[in-house]
Amino acid sequence: MKAIIHVGLKPGVLDPQGRAIARSLSDLGYDEVSDARQGKVIELDMSGTDKDAAEARVKEMCEKLLANTVIESYRITIED
């Protein structure tokens, strides 16, 4: 089983990496890009077959370790 977790900054939180990307793209002539944001994606290989149980465990992992919930939000997808 695979868990895919998207972690991104909450709206309104300053995103310096995204800013740097937007500026660099503009410098390279890609003027159609008005804004950029960068987040991370974490893929976990997991044992077990119960998707609901896995999702609950991954949510716990996010709260404890994988996301800083003060400034970041996360989204979990469980795949076979």
What is the distance between the alpha carbons of residues 50 and 27, in angstroms, rounded to a whole number? Answer: 48
Cβ at position 40, least distance to a copy of itself in Å: 5
What is the distance between the alpha carbons of residues 69 and 62, in angstroms, rounded to a whole number? Answer: 8
Half-sphere exposure of 57 (CA within 13 A, CB side): 15
Cβ at position 70, least distance to a copy of itself in Å: 19
> In terms of CB distance, is 28 or 70 closer to a copy of itself?
28
Among 30, 51, 63, 71, binds a copy of itself (CB under 8 A): 30
Using CA atoms, how far residue 60 sits from 54, 57, 66, in Å, is: 10, 5, 9
Among 26, 55, 59, 61, binds a copy of itself (CB under 8 A): 61
Binding site for a copy of itself (CB under 8 A): 6, 8, 18, 21-22, 24-25, 28, 30, 32-48, 54, 57, 61, 64-66
